[in-house]
Amino acid sequence: MKKRIIFALTCAVAMALPVFDAQAEVDKHARNLAGSCAACHGTNGSNKSGMPILAGMDKALFVTALKEFKSGARPATVMQHHAKGYTDEEFELLADFFAAQKISKKH
């Protein structure tokens, strides 16, 4: 919550914009972060190619996976290079975002 307020304030001050809905803004930030993962995991975390599916993934499992990729505790081909680029707070945001997605059969 604290981060959301700081973020909203930063934007409001830096951009001299009217105060906006902080909640909606944070969700979009998570969505935007998750956007880069789609190349491998599919739009909103669903794919039919064989990559792990992130849509609907349990939040705790998701966060643990990323933390272990980051520390090296979990062997990985490529995820260590991604996980190390994000903060633990961002893992939470990403986990919330993907947990809320439904698996799409089309992808």
Partner 1 sequence: MSINRRDFLKMTVAGIAVGAFPGIAIAGSELLKKKGQRVVIVGGGFGGATAAKYIRDWSKNKIEVVLIERNAMFISCPMSNTVLGGSRTINDLTRSYDALKKKHGVKLVQGEVTAIDPEKQTVMLANGHLSYDRLIVAPGVDFMFDQIEGLDAKVADTSIPHAWKAGTQTVALRKQMESMVDGGVFAISIPKAPYRCPPGPYERACQVAHYLKNNKPKSKVLILDANPDITSKKGLFMAAWNELYPGMVEYRPNAAVLKVDVAGKIAKTEFDDVKADVLNIIPPMKAGAVASMAGVVGADGRWCAVDFITYESKVHKNIHVIGDAVAAALPKSGHMATSQAKICAAAVVEMLQGKSPDQNPAIVNTCYSMVSNTEAVHVANVFRFNTEKQAMVSADGGGVSGKRSAEEGAFANFWLNTILDDVLG
Judged by CB, which is closer to ligand HEC: 22, or 65? 65
Q: Does 11 bind ligand HEC (CB under 6 A)?
A: no
The two tokens of residue 48 are 């039919």
In the three-class reduction of DSSP (H, G, I as helix; E, B as strand; rest coil), residue 29 is classed as: helix
Per-residue contact track with partner 1, 88 to 107, x per CB under 8 A? --x---------------xx
Is residue 7 a contact residue for partner 1 (CB under 8 A)? yes
CA distances from 47 to 37, 73, 85 (A): 11, 26, 23
Chosen residue from 1, 2, 73, 77 binding partner 1 by CB under 8 A: 77
Query: What tokens does 95 get?
Result: 């986990």
Report if residue 29 touches ligand HEC, rule: CB under 6 A: no
